[in-house]
Amino acid sequence: MKKEDEIFRLDKKTEAKLIEEIKKFFKEVRDEEISDFEGTLVLDFFREKIASEFYNIGVSAAYRRLHEISEDILSILKY
């Protein structure tokens, strides 16, 4: 198992909910009924191709925030 597989693993309840949301989207937007299997394929596609981009955005945002906080902490140094 690759490291990113662990990062983007979902519990069964969350995965089932997302698959239902994907199926709902296809029905509402495309007027197309898809199966659970097809919903799983779409979810896997997003997990493989897109999720890492959002993960990296989150990591970068956290890094920037931690950098800001560390600057604030350094401002209370006494000389």
| Cα–Cα distances in angstroms (integers) from residue 30 to residues 6, 11, 27, 48, in the given order | 32, 28, 6, 23
Q: For the chain, what is the mean pLDDT?
A: 89
Average confidence (pLDDT) over 46-73: 90
Top pLDDT among 15 and 52 is at 15
Rounded distance, CA 37 to CA 26, Å? 13
Rounded distance, CA 52 to CA 47, Å? 8
Q: Is the pLDDT reported for residue 65 higher than 80?
A: yes
The model's pTM: 0.68
pLDDT in tens, 17-51: 999 999 999 999 999 999 999 999 999 999 999 99
